[in-house]
A and B are shown apart, each in its own frame.
Chain A
Amino acid sequence: MRAVHAGGVRLGRPRVAIGILSAAVLACQPAPSGPVSVPLADAASARVYTVQTTTAQDWTGHIPLTEGSTVRLQVRLYTASGREIVPPANPVGLSFSFAPATLASATVADSALRTFDLTPTDPPESDGGMTIRVTEAATGTTKSFGPFYILVHPAQ
């Protein structure tokens, strides 16, 4: 293994180092966090969580459905900075589309909580994507998120 630096024993230009450090300290501005209530126009991303388990599980990357079973899920909306939008500034509606169209069906359970029931309609081993369309009637804003990957598993 080699030494990283070679030669030299004197601290050079301490004022430059102090200046850099000062600039770094001044640059310290913690990003705001926590939920925020803003219009749908400020939503940049969405995630899909379970709501019927003890701890909500993040199924954004993979929604595993079981043949013949319905699961209740929640759409969570986030600003670009990652702050969850709770509650949205105005009521929003949800609609769903699937590719292939026969993959599953979804119905809104509670639009205020943005929960919906999802049921597979294709046989086990089928997979595809779900797109969620969120509409804010007060402003006429519509945003689509997806596809979220769905895989249908056989019933036990």
Chain B
Amino acid sequence: MHAAPASAPGWHVGWHGTAFVQYARTFGTRGTYQLGSVNRVMVQAGGPAAGGDVRFDFMGSIEPLTLTDRGVPQLLQASFHTSDGTIITDRAHPSPWIMALSASYERALSEDVAVSLYGAAIGEPALGPPVYIHRASAEANPVVPLGHHLQDDTHSSYGVVTAAVHWQRLHLEASAFNERQPEGSDHVFYYEGARLDAYSARATVAAGAGWSLFGTYGYLPAMTQGHAHGAQHRIGTGAILTSPTWLVTFVYGANDPIGGARTRRSVLVEAQRLWPGGHLFFTRAEFVQRTAEELELVGSINEVQDVGAVQLGYGREVWRGAVTVGVGAHATVHVVTPQLEPFYGARMPLAFGVHSQVSW
């Protein structure tokens, strides 16, 4: 993140942005293609106040314009509805205009203990791993994880409060948040029926040698509108490695519906390897239990389908100045059940993308 001092003593303003200009192609019966842009910009300001540190964060995107409300092609991604009610399958929906608008305050109580309070009009509750757009292991990867609905709260919540305690290597967080999501991407704010009636908690331990381990639990009440679901528990665990050369994330996440439906599970392994000279390699392997509803095939296939995807990608920096420019490409092999084969044209439908990434 670029940073500059602000007018108040000790305060700073920082910013970072990244934009992928990409051609995405998916193959098979549900295949399609698109030239578009995945992008986001983050602005952060902070400094000392009231005996602690205050921070303000903003993150936004123009994907509703650069991907349109139909989103980017991605086989097996959970379906969504556009504002006019059109059902979109096998595409990842665009990010909203504003993904984060938050403030936080952290205060050290002793050398080993600190507490923090985070409030967001739009933000991320303490649930699951850091969302993929904040994960270093996914930094050069423009593709959305298939299993994010079972792992984190990738969709920004319209109302979040999080309290946290940091004690040496242990970090404990608890959130109350509003899980309601709009249909379509034309809402900037969405507070219809808003209540902080979803809860989550996360424990993170810095295990040393660049590793951190986390465990998480969330209660999500039944929701209608966008990404509708029944009341459910979301549980997860995982590990994250951050080193100068390897960036790795392991995630297990599951949704346990309240009321007897079967638990759905997901596993994600994601890595990025950096080499001198600006070369990098990235990969992601996923197993996800998709519902017929997520594939818009209720009544036509069994309720839960085991699917998977393995992605390999390569990137290379080609220019560095006021902005950094890279190029890259990735290919994905998906694996579907025999029951899904007619809908995808193969047991192992393929996809690829080529992109240029501009960061500043």
Contact surface of A with B, Cβ cutoff 8 Å: 1-12, 17, 20-21, 24, 27-28, 30-31, 44-48, 58, 60-61, 80-82, 132, 145-149
CA distance A7 to B245 in the complex (A): 13
Taking a contact as CB atoms under 8 Å apart, the answer to whether B315 and A60 are in contact is: no
Chain A residues within an 8 Å CB radius of B299:
45-48, 60, 132, 145-148
Choice from A1, A4, A9, A12 contacting B357 with Cβ under 8 Å: A4
Taking a contact as CB atoms under 8 Å apart, the answer to whether B320 and A9 are in contact is: yes
CA distance A90 to B221 in the complex (A): 46
Contact surface of B with A, Cβ cutoff 8 Å: 1, 16, 18, 23, 25, 27, 29-33, 42, 87, 89, 136, 139-140, 274, 276-280, 293, 296-301, 315-320, 324, 326-327, 329, 342-343, 345, 352, 354, 357, 359
Nearest-Cβ distance from residue A156 to partner chain B, whole angstroms: 19
Nearest-Cβ distance from residue A127 to partner chain B, whole angstroms: 11
Question: How many cross-chain pairs have Cβ atoms below 8 Å apart between A and B?
Answer: 107
Nearest-Cβ distance from residue B257 to partner chain A, whole angstroms: 13
From B326, which residue of chain A is reached at the shortest CB distance?
A5
Taking a contact as CB atoms under 8 Å apart, the answer to whether B359 and A4 are in contact is: yes
Say yes or no: A6-B343 contact (C-beta < 8 A), given A45-B297, A58-B87.
no
Taking a contact as CB atoms under 8 Å apart, the answer to whether B300 and A8 are in contact is: no
CA distance A9 to B325 in the complex (A): 9
Taking a contact as CB atoms under 8 Å apart, the answer to whether A148 and B298 are in contact is: yes
CA distance A44 to B32 in the complex (A): 19
Taking a contact as CB atoms under 8 Å apart, the answer to whether A4 and B319 are in contact is: no
Taking a contact as CB atoms under 8 Å apart, the answer to whether B32 and A31 are in contact is: yes
Taking a contact as CB atoms under 8 Å apart, the answer to whether B30 and A81 are in contact is: yes
Chain A residues within an 8 Å CB radius of B320:
5, 7-9
Taking a contact as CB atoms under 8 Å apart, the answer to whether A31 and B293 are in contact is: no
Chain B residues within an 8 Å CB radius of A24:
23, 25, 33, 352, 354
A-B CB contact pairs (8 Å), 5 listed: A5-B140, A20-B354, A21-B354, A28-B33, A46-B300
